[in-house]
Structure 1
Amino acid sequence: MSDVGGTLKALETQAQALLVAGRGAEVEAMVRPLLASGSGAVSLWALLAQALRVQGRVAEARPIQEMLVDALPGHLPTRFDLSETLLLLGDFDRGWREYGYRYSLAHTTRIERKVQRPRWDGRPIPGQTLLIHDEQGYGDTFQFLRMVAWARERSQAKVVLEINHEMASIARRMSGFDAITLRGELPPPFDVHCEMMSLPMAMGLKLGDLPGDPMPYLTALPDRRETWRRRLAPHAGLKVACLWAGRPTHMNDANRSVSLATLAPLAQDGVTFFSIQKGPSEGDALAPPPGMNLVSLSPEIRDFEDTAAILCEVDLLISIDSSPVHLAGALGRPAWVMLPLLPDWRWLQGRDDTPWYPSVRLFRQTEWGRWDQVVDRVAAALTEHKRAG
């Protein structure tokens, strides 16, 4: 390796470590002088785009990413990075097209379905069978289940919905499909297919189409609701479900998750918190922050049916970006979401509401890693909510 190549590699390694730590301004200061002439290594332009995104300057990163895609049209991870920027900025038209490259990444190739049938392109196909299959996380599936009924209406086809085992019970109560099959089973014969998160591209989904009808589009089981109503009844005051940590294997988990201790300022008289946290952080609820009246429901939650019922029986969910947020939104239940400075693309920018879910309110970081400011705003809103209620 030449001295120049070695120096560039060392700079990239240092810059990536800084980006992970949210120190985008330092990375920008490192690479800007090297690009002052308007030319430079592609990798440096990519670092500059990442540095701008980490600072929340997503609109400034867009033209750089578009330039990179033009220069490297066959480099599919670059196209996927652009898709997330476009969708975050609300440019659904091009964003969904570029999002089609999502299976080009090292961590997504393993979940791509190899289907020996053409992908549906949004046109009517009366008399044919359309297989719609889920593909990614639970939150993604909760979010895009709304489009199954729209696809049946548009396609005029018989729709078979293939879904994961954990969500099948809830999905069965939803309208908009003719048959359901579980992931891993051999589906009935079909003519065309479409991943659930390719439906927006196939149907040309626009911001103005959201949230769409019907809303809400999921329901909780009445008998589960009654069970949880009795379970929560002894607890007085405002009932708030809470969740503070996501799946540790998620690519962005370090950016979106917090510790339970971070939520300490939410504690106040007249509010009972109910932990619905699952996974490695579940046990944290057994030692809540001082002054927080926190009851752990986690060991009693068997499945998403229990979570749905709990969300229908509490007054509010306060959570980081997680699948229960999407479940609450799909149920039409109130949820407050704490978001990092650079959020997932679906939450857009610069707004405290979301077109996806009318019942969901967003609380955003204004500085990288400053969850304290977010939690303080949530605490103030909770005080106001309690007073108004």
Structure 2
Amino acid sequence: MSETDSPQAFGTWMECMRNGAFEEAWKFSDVALATGTNRNYTLPRHQQGIWDGRSLQDKRVLVRCYHGLGDTIQFIRFAPLLKQIARQVIVWAQPALIDLLKTVNGIDELLSLHDGTPDVAYDVDVEVMELPYIFRTTLATLPKQMPYLHAEPLPLPQQNAEKLSVGLVWQAGDWDKSRCIPFSLLEPLAQMEGINLYILQANVTSASWQEGFGIHPGEFSLYDYGRVIAGLDLLITVDSMPAHLAGALNIPVWTLLHAQADWRWMDNRLDSPWYPSMKLYRQEHQGNWQPVIEQVATGLRSLVNSVL
């Protein structure tokens, strides 16, 4: 479901998902599917429902990836499950992700997403974020095979066994600034002993980064970015694509969430059923990141003391 469906129904759907009651949420999705309110093709792609309810059994299934990079990474875990019933699984995904998605089991063909129509024959199409609903996923049946993305670690400057290799990302996309942490609050992490702090923030100059704060290894393609993360001991990041990438690679990741975080992180949890390697740090009050950074610094000191 999306915000374009009945506002009241969508609100209840969100509450169910936040509480882990997926099976109850799917009942509201059933109504949207039956009435067709989820399939309004005049809306932007990411707000469109695609699946029309037809069976995927023994069909050529096209999986459209119309949301963000992190969404594709999170929900592509369903590809092996889809392959168990479909004759062919075709994934139409963001070009930057293609090389990483080649490592996912269950995908027969990968196509680069563009603004036109897919140049491939298929019988049924779905959007990648519809797959949990299609499979009536619950917390108990959530695919947990880890890792489901694979990347050979890429060596980093100054990397050595005497210090932990810790990556840092503090800004998400411009569309939701509430996920971003002011650079000025990060100083306690830069002073931490026993770690090499790698700056993995995209577009660091526009993210207020200052030379001398951590080690900036450069800019990478998304595939090589995955290789960098694969070589870390820990990634510390806000709610953005790198959190999903680390989780899918089964790399330890601490995800820093604002007080009104997305439904996928659920409520009142410090772990994530989606990613066993993930720990969640949450704001108690909207906009107040200082206590979160203090908790992260304390946790990082404890981690250093326990392994070095």
Deviation at 1:235, TM superposition (A): 9.6
- What letter is aligned with 1:210? L
Q: Is the radius of gyration larger for structure 1 or structure 2?
A: 1
SS at match of 1:327: helix
Q: For residue 256 of structure 1, what is the aligned residue in structure 2?
A: 179
Q: For residue 148 of structure 2, what is the aligned residue in structure 1?
A: 217
SS at match of 1:219: coil
- How many percent of aligned residue pairs carry the same amino acid? 26
Q: 2:63–2:127: 8 Å Cα contact kept in structure 1?
A: yes
TM-score, structure 1 as length reference: 0.69
- What letter is aligned with 1:169? D
Query: Is residue 88 of structure 1 aligned with residue 11 of structure 2?
Result: no
Residue deviations 1:320-359, cap 9 Å, x none?
Answer: 1110000000000000011112211011111211110010
Between the aligned partners of 1:152 and 1:363, the Cα distance in structure 2 is 35
Deviation at 1:105, TM superposition (A): 12
Q: Could you say which structure has the higher helix fraction?
A: 1
Residue deviations 1:48-76, cap 9 Å, x none?
Answer: xxxxxxxxxxxxxxxxxxxxxxxxxx963
Q: 1:88–1:345: 8 Å Cα contact kept in structure 2?
A: yes
Residue deviations 1:128-157, cap 9 Å, x none?
Answer: 21111111011111100100111121x232
Q: 2:168–2:197: 8 Å Cα contact kept in structure 1?
A: yes
Q: For residue 193 of structure 2, what is the aligned residue in structure 1?
A: 269
Between the aligned partners of 2:163 and 2:51, the Cα distance in structure 1 is 54
CA RMSD of aligned residues (A): 2.9
Question: 1:278 and 1:147, CA in 2 relative to 1: closer, same or farther beyond 3 A?
Answer: same
Deviation at 1:211, TM superposition (A): 4.2
Unaligned runs of 5+ in 2: none
Equivalent residue runs for 1:208-357 within 5 Å: 208-213=140-145, 215-220=146-151, 222=152, 225=153, 228-233=154-159, 237-249=163-175, 253-266=176-189, 267-279=191-203, 282=206, 284-287=208-211, 293-297=213-217, 300-357=218-275
Deviation at 1:287, TM superposition (A): 4.4
SS at match of 2:237: strand
SS at match of 1:208: coil
Q: 2:243–2:255: 8 Å Cα contact kept in structure 1?
A: yes
Between the aligned partners of 1:378 and 1:368, the Cα distance in structure 2 is 17
Query: Is residue 119 of structure 1 aligned with residue 52 of structure 2?
Result: yes
Between the aligned partners of 2:273 and 2:48, the Cα distance in structure 1 is 32
Question: 1:342 and 1:118, CA in 2 relative to 1: closer, same or farther beyond 3 A?
Answer: closer
Between the aligned partners of 1:274 and 1:211, the Cα distance in structure 2 is 31
Between the aligned partners of 1:200 and 1:312, the Cα distance in structure 2 is 26
Which of 103, 107, 110 pairs up with 1:177?
A: 107
Question: 1:143 and 1:232, CA in 2 relative to 1: closer, same or farther beyond 3 A?
Answer: farther
Which of 201, 217, 220 pairs up with 2:133?
A: 201
Q: 2:165–2:198: 8 Å Cα contact kept in structure 1?
A: yes
SS at match of 2:202: coil
TM-score, structure 2 as length reference: 0.86
Q: For residue 44 of structure 2, what is the aligned residue in structure 1?
A: 110
Deviation at 1:254, TM superposition (A): 2.7
Deviation at 1:195, TM superposition (A): 0.6
Between the aligned partners of 2:181 and 2:214, the Cα distance in structure 1 is 17
Deviation at 1:171, TM superposition (A): 0.4
Question: 1:308 and 1:93, CA in 2 relative to 1: closer, same or farther beyond 3 A?
Answer: same
Higher RCO by CA contacts (8 Å cutoff, separation 6 or greater): 2
Between the aligned partners of 1:385 and 1:355, the Cα distance in structure 2 is 22
Between the aligned partners of 2:38 and 2:188, the Cα distance in structure 1 is 42
Question: 1:139 and 1:75, CA in 2 relative to 1: closer, same or farther beyond 3 A?
Answer: closer
Matched residue count: 296
Between the aligned partners of 1:282 and 1:380, the Cα distance in structure 2 is 28
Query: Is residue 152 of structure 1 aligned with residue 152 of structure 2?
Result: no
Between the aligned partners of 1:283 and 1:234, the Cα distance in structure 2 is 27
SS at match of 1:204: coil
Question: 1:105 and 1:157, CA in 2 relative to 1: closer, same or farther beyond 3 A?
Answer: closer
Which of 275, 286, 297 pairs up with 1:379?
A: 297
Question: 1:149 and 1:125, CA in 2 relative to 1: closer, same or farther beyond 3 A?
Answer: same
Question: 1:257 and 1:371, CA in 2 relative to 1: closer, same or farther beyond 3 A?
Answer: same
Q: For residue 32 of structure 1, what is the aligned residue in structure 2?
A: none
SS at match of 2:201: coil
Question: 1:270 and 1:114, CA in 2 relative to 1: closer, same or farther beyond 3 A?
Answer: closer
Residue deviations 1:26-54, cap 9 Å, x none?
Answer: xxxxxxxxxxxxxxxxxxxxxxxxxxxxx
